[in-house]
Amino acid sequence: MEGYDSCVEDVTPTRSLAVRLIQAAEQLKADFATSIAPSGLSVPAARALLMLDEPLPMRTLSDRLACNQSYITRIADELESQGLVKREPGKDRRMQILTLTPSGDRTRAAVLSAALTGDRVQQRLSAADQKALGRLLGRLSGD
């Protein structure tokens, strides 16, 4: 559990929105970690697993997760050691294609279901609020 709490907020009259948004995000991340805990996977591995709804080259995964390629090697090792994924050579022999095993497929479905079930955005926000939040986040991100 992280704790990106007080900081600028104790200085400005009200706790800053930026800090509150960061705290909300930490909460969401903690929720995700809790919901995937039964899988025994690390958070990064669970995130990668969720992306594998189709076989993907490791390179594609590193692009989508916006992380270094070497880190994908690590994650693939974890997933493979759990028997959830296989590495298969692509037509371009430099590529390794990550493909879910049947067990990986089941685990992915379980993780996905748990993540959706534990999503407090869905739980606590009405449809209208969700729409409003989406709009605000769009403005924040630069459209």
**95 belongs to the binding site for a second copy (CB under 8 A):** no
**137 belongs to the binding site for a second copy (CB under 8 A):** yes
Give me the torsion for CA of 116, 27, 29, 10, rounded to 10°. Answer: 150
Which residue, 92, 93, 94, 82, is CA-closest to 52? 82
Report how far residue 110's alpha carbon sits from residue 123's, in angstroms, rounded to the nearest whole number: 19
138: phi then psi, degrees, rounded to nearest 5: -60, -45
Residues that contact a second copy, how many (by CB under 8 A): 52
Assess contact for 33 and 46: CB atoms under 8 A. Answer: no
CA 54 to chain centre: 17
**44 belongs to the binding site for DNA (CB under 7 A):** yes
Stretch that binds a second copy, among 77-85, 92-100, 112-120 (CB under 8 A): 112-120
**8 belongs to the binding site for a second copy (CB under 8 A):** yes
**67 belongs to the binding site for DNA (CB under 7 A):** yes
* Residues 69-88: x where in contact with DNA by CB under 7 A, - otherwise, as a string: xxxxxx-xx---------x-
- Closer Cβ to DNA, 9 or 125, answer by number: 9
Report in angstroms how near the CB of residue 130 gets to DNA at its nearest.
25
**4 belongs to the binding site for DNA (CB under 7 A):** yes
